[in-house]
């Protein structure tokens, strides 16, 4: 490997060059060669690891670093200047404290109806004369439902729990409660789907029609779930167990999920803490 940290001018290195360079202890090796640079370095033919072993902090400085191989950055990384990476893979390994969040989004109009318990598509708003915009309205007297399937993105931090939530609005001034439910089964590639689980949450309408409400549902455990795992889902209003006496308009159901990479290094595999 190559460890780059402060100290020499611009160079273009290949594998043979690296073998001839001493490491910190004055020896060299295929697997442990340390090279010092502070301005510009282009490395070809070998994986490159950028780490400050003393502080545990990765610091990339200088004009640019051009890596034509694998670049693995560990620790807390500061990059000053341009970082150009080409070749097979770029892997940014980070801990929970460095991960970010995003929505895995399922707008109501993208979901699928099924059977006789489908909600009605009803006008949501217009400008007084226009065709207007529409949403699915879930009835008070019948448990209505929509269906969807979700594949987890390659950016997802494997085996971190999903945080589902519902965006909805009341359509009048009633201040009753609305109960939303999610039924799902989740499995990785080559796994066998099991029976479904059902989670739900309840929220009181605030008394103002068409107010955007946000309701968290219980977390979904991701233990043992892998890359490209898929959830098969049903979202529904459990109207028999709520008190809001009108239709509830579903805007969207989402999963908040953690991201630790821009994607996966392989099409069907992801590098996690030094292992595939």
Among the three residues 72, 92, 112, which one is the final residue of a domain in this structure? 92
Residue with tokens 């273009």: 12
Cα atoms in the 13 Å half-sphere on the side-chain side of 213: 25
Q: Which of 92, 117, 149 is the last residue of a domain?
A: 92
Answer yes or no: do 164 and 248 share one domain: yes
Is 59 part of a structural domain of the chain? Answer: yes
pLDDT at 99 > cutoff 90: no
pLDDT at position 270: 79
What range does the domain containing 23 cover? 2-92
Query: Is residue 272, in this structure, part of any structural domain at all?
Result: no
Question: pLDDT grade, residue 269 (50/70/90)?
Answer: confident
* Segment 259-276 mean pLDDT: 72
Same domain membership, residue 137 and residue 42: no
**68 burial via Cβ count (<10 Å: 0-12, 13-18, 19+):** middle
Q: Is 94 helix (H, G, I), strand (E, B) or coil?
A: coil
Q: What pLDDT, on a 0 to 100 scale, did the predictor assign at position 218?
A: 98
Q: Are residues 232 and 145 in the same domain?
A: yes
Coil, strand or helix: which one is 62?
Answer: coil
What integer pLDDT is reported at residue 34 of this predicted model? 40
Q: Using an 8 Å Cβ cutoff, are 160 and 102 in contact?
A: no
- 103 and 83 within one domain: no
* 9 or 223, greater pLDDT: 223
Q: What is the count of structural domains for the chain?
A: 2
Does one domain contain both 24 and 160? no
Residues present in the chain in total = 276
Instruction: Report if residue 175 sits inside a domain.
Output: yes
* pLDDT tens sequence across 7-64: 333 344 444 444 454 444 333 334 333 444 433 455 544 444 554 444 444 445 444 5
Residue-wise pLDDT tens digits, 57-73: 444 544 455 555 555 55
Mean pLDDT estimate for the chain: 77
Is the pLDDT reported for residue 226 higher than 80?
A: yes
pLDDT score for 266: 77
List residues bridging with 82 in a β-sheet. 64
Place of tokens 């009753």: 176
Q: At 76, is the pLDDT very low, low, confident or very high (cuts 50, 70, 90)? A: low
Strongest mean pLDDT among 53-57, 87-91, 246-250 = 246-250
């Amino acid at each position: 490997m190559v460890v780059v940290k402060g100290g020499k001018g611009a160079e273009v290195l290949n594998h043979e060059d690296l073998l001839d360079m001493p490491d910190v202890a004055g020896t060299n090796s295929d697997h442990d060669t340390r090279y010092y640079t502070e301005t510009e370095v282009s490395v070809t033919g070998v994986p490159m690891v950028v780490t400050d072993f003393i502080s545990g902090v990765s610091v990339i400085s200088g004009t640019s670093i051009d890596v034509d191989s694998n670049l693995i950055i560990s620790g807390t990384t500061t990059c000053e200047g341009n970082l150009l990476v080409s070749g097979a893979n770029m892997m940014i390994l980070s801990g929970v404290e460095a991960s970010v969040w995003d929505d895995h989004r399922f707008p109501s109009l993208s979901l699928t109806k099924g059977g006789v318990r489908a909600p009605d598509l009803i006008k949501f708003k217009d400008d007084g004369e226009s065709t207007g915009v529409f949403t699915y309205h879930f009835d008070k007297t019948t448990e209505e439902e929509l269906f969807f399937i979700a594949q987890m993105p390659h950016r997802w931090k494997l085996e971190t729990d999903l945080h589902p939530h519902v965006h909805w609005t009341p359509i009048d001034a009633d201040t009753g409660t609305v109960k939303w439910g999610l039924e799902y089964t989740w499995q990785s590639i080559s796994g066998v789907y099991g029976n479904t689980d059902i989670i739900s949450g309840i929220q009181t309408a605030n008394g103002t029609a068409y107010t955007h409400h946000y309701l968290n549902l219980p977390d979904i455990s991701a233990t043992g779930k892998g890359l490209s795992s898929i959830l098969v889902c049903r979202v529904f209003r459990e109207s028999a167990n709520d008190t809001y006496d009108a239709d509830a308009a579903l805007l969207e159901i989402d999963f908040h999920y953690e991201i630790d990479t821009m994607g996966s290094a392989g099409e069907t595999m992801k590098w996690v803490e030094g292992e595939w």
